[in-house]
Chain A
Amino acid sequence: MTWQLFVFMMINGLSQGMLLFIIASGLSLVFGVLRVINFAHGSIYMIGAFLAYSLSTILSGQSLIGFLILLMVVPPVIAILGLALEVTLFRRVYREEHLLQLLLTYALVLILDDLVRVIWGGEPRSVARPELLAGSVDIFGMALPSYNVFILVVGPMIAIGLWLLLYRTRTGNIIRAAVSFPDTLGALGVNVSWVMTSTFMLGCWLAGFGGVLTAGLSNIDLGIGMQTIIECFAVVVIGGLGSVGGALLGSLIIGTGLTFFQLPFGRWALVFPYALMALVLIIRPWGFFGKPER
């Protein structure tokens, strides 16, 4: 492998990792604060993708503005869907055992997936990339789609935004406190229930954002929710459940790993995220950045 090809593959893999991070960080965040493993995160992400498709058919034309509107409108709508789900369902299972939470979120997967089938049907859809992002960028004589470059720019922005929110604002302090000392936080007079609701909404916002980006990247169909949630699990297990930094690391490892292992190992490259996940579970069950359960 020439170093040019290496750099090209690296950039390409990082852009895949960034997209995965945007979705997986939502799952991780929600687990960190709510202690619920939200199986339905993938389905929520899928709804975001299909919503982006529907909206794009109204906003005809392949303008960059139209695409940015999708990115601004769809995630908040998904966050509001999250609000409804949190208030009506999730809130009731926080103090229940994990099995019950799993049953609830898995039931939600079935319901939401069928809802998508009823509303949008089984046909694969996609959002046309805006003209500005439809071409390619030259990297050492190899063409990289500008859309992948766009993801590579947006991903770190989201990561930095999340970091600022979590470590530089009062809201962030409260969210982090809710992860580590939920009981103390309540005793200090913080409305813990509201913290949980808004964290859940933030998680859904991230899922919706990832959904819009995916709709422009590839075809979307009824299978993407399940496929993505499995990948997200691999990410958060590797990075540590509840840790956003861990989600970033896990996503980038998986994104670049899949790209590089494809060349020598072919179809066996698919095994890589799960093999790594198994390895992490054996050596460090709480993941790279996670904390052991007390």
Chain B
Amino acid sequence: MKQVKGKVLAMMALVLFSAAFTLGSNAIASDVIKLGFIADVSGIGAPFYKSQKAGLDMFIEEINAKGGILGKKLELVVRDSQLKPDVGANQARELILSEKCEFLIGPTSSAVALAVTKVSKEFKKIIFFHTSNAEALTTTAFQPYMFQVVPNTGIEGRGMAVVLSKKPYKKYSLIGPDYAYGHDQLNSFKSEMAKRRPDVQILDTVWVKLGESNFSTFIPTLMAKKPEAINAAFWGGQLSAFIKQAKPYGVFKETPVSSLFDLDMLRATGLDMPEGLTGYARAPFYAIDTPQMKEFIKKYYDKNKEWPADWAIMAYDGMIALTEAIKKANSTESEKVVDVLGGLKFNSLRGERFIRAEDHMANVGIYAGVTTKSPDYKEFLIMKDVQPVPAEEVWLPVEEIKKLQSEQK
């Protein structure tokens, strides 16, 4: 009998203790703004995640050192969505409901982003996308609680068509990952190219499963129709694997390949990266000449002992825009912050930018250039002759945005 009593007492103590503990943590919660980061930590997006996290961490440290925002400190909570949309959506719910996050930060994969944006809409919590960039997020899947500080697939696909339409090639083969990102990207490329260069022929489009890294069966197919140039919509680890494996198949001897040459991919490919390929980046630190970027690069290098990749820069820019909106709204309530998002101006590392009211897309363009070895960076290639393609030149006009948004289910 005594024993049972002892057990009951112990149980009660435990319950009381845990209740006190939760109360305690709730009390603390009001002094911080929690940011829930649905991240693609593992798999082909892993290097991107490291850079994104480093950019976010740096911003949060800096702003907390200055006393936070509206007197509250920022705190980051990270979950790994493993490039899986259902996992990402569940984690977004968990971050809102259990972790009490007030704002969300998007993942790397567009497929995950399309699932997560629905959760953001459902719970009316603001999310920003800094890496995942399906154009659909701003059109058919648009919802006002999101904004995008990364050039979307439309801006990128059409932007590359603008750049490559000036080249002499007439026969292209396309290859890309078989999901929202790859399809959006290559479709935008095709339609813009058809407008600018009706003489250009698209011989073939090869689709590869997202995450597949053995290209042995795909590369011979890609080359079988003898294209003059290849546009590849891969990114990150998958692109790096593609380039490394394409080399011994003799692809680069005759056929230039264009794609997203971001810093992390260039670092991962190292000196296996061929010279003279035309490609683009989203935010190349070595080619953006603004005072705030110079300061950022220095601080970032001192802290991380490496150069900031595009992903670090865009995640940082997203935080600039978000905190700017919170300040302008003078509130952390998403209902009030969302009211100031449309037309919001913010001073990004890439220069002055604004968020377009109709689709919450920041006017961020791409930076096109040609790969080259550089004496400043011994272990990887960068791009030379970098020319920005401004968003205003290639983003969808407002009428089209409105038309697509009205088709939303």
Contact = CB atoms under 8 A, between A and B. Distances in A.
Contacts of B212: 227
A143 B213 contact: no
B88 interface: no
Interface stretch (A81-89, A145-153, A241-249): A145-153
A136 B217 contact: no
A262 B218 contact: yes
A117 B235 CA distance: 22
Contact of B178 (A222, A227, A267): A267
Nearest to A268: B207
A251 interface: no
Interface residues of B, number: 34
B201 interface: no
A259 B220 contact: yes
A71 interface: no
Interface string A196-228: 000000000000000000100111111110010
Contacts of A5: 224
B241 A262 contact: no
B220 A146 contact: no
Nearest to B248: A145
Contacts, number: 102
Interface residues of A, number: 42
B177 to A, nearest CB: 11
Interface string A114-151: 00010001111010000000111000001111111000
Given A121-B42, A123-B47, A136-B250, A219 B217 contact: no
* B47, B209, B212, B216, most chain A CB atoms within 10 A: B216
Contact of A145 (B41, B43, B237, B249): B249
A181 to B, nearest CB: 40
A267 B177 CA distance: 10
Given A263-B224, A266-B207, A222 B250 contact: no
Interface in A238-285: 258-259, 262-263, 266-267, 269-270
A217 B218 contact: no
B44 A221 contact: yes
Interface string A143-187: 111111000000000000000000000000000000000000000
Given A124-B44, A124-B213, A222-B43, A134 B220 contact: no
Given A122-B41, A124-B43, A263-B224, A221 B216 contact: no
A223 B46 contact: no
A41 B47 CA distance: 28
A19 B211 CA distance: 19
A16 interface: yes
Interface string B219-261: 0110110000000000001101100110011100100000000
A147 B247 CA distance: 12
Interface of B: 41-44, 46-47, 80, 178, 205-207, 209, 211-218, 220-221, 223-224, 237-238, 240-241, 244-245, 248-250, 253
22 contacts: A1-B224, A5-B224, A16-B216, A117-B42, A121-B42, A122-B46, A124-B46, A124-B237, A134-B248, A135-B248, A136-B248, A145-B248, A148-B216, A217-B216, A218-B241, A218-B245, A219-B240, A223-B43, A227-B212, A262-B218, A262-B220, A269-B217
Interface of A: 1, 5, 8-9, 12-13, 15-16, 117, 121-124, 126, 134-136, 142-148, 214, 217-224, 227, 258-259, 262-263, 266-267, 269-270
